Amino acid sequence: MLEVEVLGERLAPGAPGPDEIGRLCELAAASRGVGSGHVAVEFVSSGRIAELNRAHRAKDGPTDVLSFPVDGTDGSAGEPRELGDIVICPPHTADVGEAVVHGMLHLLGMDHETDDGEMLALQDALLARARA
């Protein structure tokens, strides 16, 4: 079972609720063969995501979503897997659902900056499926 913890919801009025965020995370995880683990999705201010962007990516200014993997997808057999954290800044995010899926795919080891469009194609397919 995938456990999804949602934090800072008050910063994301109009965003999908915790149940929908959990469903999007589960959909993305299942697409990569992951059926269990823990992920935290946190909504933060522009200032906070700019701090994280600077500290972890050496880029100035806010961004829409950042992912911080912990255990990845190779958790020890029988042990809970800490997939990591997805940090979303609603004022810089056009589509929070897309940011959730995007962040989750990064936690699962995908990287649109190095693949041949696989991650973004999967992201689009997952969102189409979720919204059908």
* CB-based contact 28:105 (threshold 8 Å): yes
- Residue 76: half-sphere exposure toward Cβ, Cα within 13 Å: 1
For residue 11, what pLDDT is reported? 87
Selected residue with higher pLDDT from 3 and 79: 3
Domain range spanning residue 92? 2-131
What total number of domains does the chain contain?
1
- Percentages (nearest 5) of helix, strand, coil residues in the chain: 45, 20, 35
For residue 7, what pLDDT is reported? 94
Provide the mean pLDDT of the chain. Answer: 91
For residue 72, what pLDDT is reported? 59
In this prediction, residues 104-115 reach a mean pLDDT of 92
- Domain of 16: which CATH number? 3.40.390.30
Tell me whether strands 65-69 and 82-88 are parallel, antiparallel or unpaired: antiparallel
Q: Is the pLDDT of residue 74 over 60?
A: no
